[in-house]
């Protein structure tokens, strides 16, 4: 298993962000399930809505890709307990990350699993914390 950062999904969805790594990660979901934090389920639709407003995609494209995402083998981490929220805040402070990005990092650290992300600051923080970069 691995933690799937939303940046991977966006790189596959938005063709101008294309990434061979992101494509390989998404293809690996055919055989390997991934962890996502609970907020992932809000982050993804929000980016679709923003993409539609900015004319980067159509409603039909968003709806179609969302339908695809619902069949992926994703394990959703429940909303974290208060002690986990403190760990997220500490990681965000330590690595100058958003709380959202620190959530992905904390999930990977706590579960001792790799992180799949295209976010450079998040990947740098993961390296610093000894979290391996997922290799599909």
What pLDDT is recorded for position 33? 97
Rounded to the nearest angstrom, the gap between the alpha carbon of residue 67 and the centroid of all alpha carbons in its chain is 17
Mean pLDDT of the chain: 95
Q: Are 73 and 33 in contact (CB under 8 A)?
A: yes
What pLDDT band is residue 8 in, cutting at 50, 70 and 90? very high
What pLDDT is recorded for position 14? 95
Q: Which domains does the chain have, with CATH numbers?
A: 2-128 (3.40.50.1010)
- Tell me the whole-structure pTM to 2 decimals: 0.92
Residue 135 main-chain phi, psi, to 5 deg: -115, 105
Q: Give the bridge partners for 133, in sequence order.
A: 115
Query: How far, in Å, CA of 57 to CA of 80, rounded?
Result: 32
What pLDDT is recorded for position 18? 85
């Amino acid at each position: 298993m691995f933690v799937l950062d939303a940046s991977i999904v966006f790189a596959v969805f938005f063709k101008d962000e294309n990434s061979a790594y992101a494509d390989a990660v998404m293809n690996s979901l055919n055989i390997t399930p991934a962890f996502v934090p609970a907020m992932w389920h809000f982050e993804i639709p929000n980016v679709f809505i923003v993409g539609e407003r900015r004319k980067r995609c159509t409603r039909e494209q968003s709806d179609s890709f969302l339908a695809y995402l619902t069949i992926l083998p994703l394990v959703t981490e429940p909303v974290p307990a208060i002690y986990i929220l403190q760990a997220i805040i500490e990681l965000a402070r330590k690595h100058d990350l958003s709380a959202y990005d620190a959530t992905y990092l904390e999930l990977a650290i706590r579960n001792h699993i790799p992180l799949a992300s295209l976010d450079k600051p998040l990947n740098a923080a993961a390296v610093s914390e000894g979290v391996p970069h997922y290799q599909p």
